[in-house]
A and B are shown apart, each in its own frame.
Chain A
Amino acid sequence: MKARRWIPHPLLSLCLLLVWLLLMNDLSLGHFLLGALLGWAIPLLTQVFWINPPKVDKPFKLCLFLLRILGDIVMANLQVAKLILGPTAKLRPAFVEIPLLLEDELALTMLTSIISLTPGTVSADLSDDHKTLLVHGLDVPDAEALVAEIKQRYEAPLLEVFTCSTT
């Protein structure tokens, strides 16, 4: 309980430290300490602005998931490159609506970003009630299959990683 009060967002602190070390491009002890200090102080000073902080349940799983996304992005690039260089008249573009289960805002942001970065899809709009996502696909042979794939491949792991804190 006490640790929670003094380090309100351990993951954010870790990220800040990492970004600081990368920014300085220097792994010396001095910068490590300075980064640790910043990583500790910034979340503490800004915590009043965090109205609904996301809760990451399984940070390790999140890392694995992000690694898989990286692989998917490379595949997406190859696929889209093939589509772009092939005959454009053969493409079957479509707007697809995806019903969402996610409620956490950070998780939603991640999902829409991931959709934009991966195979032939760009997220176009989120409905006002945060229940449906409109996605534009570059080449969609089967809309149902696309919805099922996105839900199973990207939404399900995010649902697992974030416990949706609804307040």
Chain B
Amino acid sequence: MAFWIEALVALFLLLGSLFALVGAIGLYRLPDFFMRLHGPTKASTLGVGGMVIASMIYFSFSGKGISLHELLIALFLFITAPVSAHMLAKAAMQQKLHINKETRGKPWEQ
């Protein structure tokens, strides 16, 4: 495998893991539940995205023809991640979890 392909794969892997790390840091640092929800729903999508791209490049150049089925991982992640975030937010609202006092606006009750 050519050097530049390996470099490209390494670059995407690093980028992906960097964003996954940022998501985890967000989960740890942010003050209340609703704000913590932002870290994993977003940073992790690009984290997985970067790794998926790296995998696609690696297996496409490893001699068995192009490999695209990693795209399905990204597709299903994009479909499921918002749903789980939505469910978590709904559950948090029902449990009336502590909300950071800086927050403007209120979750409604119904």
B76 shortest CB reach to chain A, Å: 10
Stretch at the interface among A48-56, A114-122, A158-166: A114-122
Q: A74-B46, A76-B42, A125-B93 are in contact. Are A93 and B82 (CB under 8 A)?
A: no
Query: B residues within 8 A CB of A117?
Result: 41-42, 45, 78, 81-82
Query: B residues within 8 A CB of A93?
Result: 32, 34-35, 100, 102-104
Stretch at the interface among A6-14, A33-41, A57-65, A81-89: A81-89
Count of CB-CB pairs between chains A and B under 8 Å: 125
Interface contact A122-B46, CB-CB below 8 Å:
no
Query: A residues within 8 A CB of B68?
Result: 22, 25
A103: CB under 8 A from chain B? no
Query: A residues within 8 A CB of B10?
Result: none
Query: B residues within 8 A CB of A97?
Result: 105, 108
Please name the residue on chain A nearest to B74 by beta carbon: A70
B79: CB under 8 A from chain A? yes
Query: B residues within 8 A CB of A81?
Result: 19, 22, 43
Report Cα–Cα, A14/B26, bound state, in Å: 39
Query: A residues within 8 A CB of B31?
Result: 88
Point out residues on B near A: beta carbons under 8 Å.
19, 22-23, 25-26, 29-32, 34-35, 37-39, 41-43, 45-46, 67-69, 71-72, 75, 78-79, 81-83, 85-86, 89-90, 93, 100, 102-108, 110
Question: Nearest 4 pairs between A and B by C-beta?
Answer: A95-B105, A116-B82, A84-B26, A113-B82
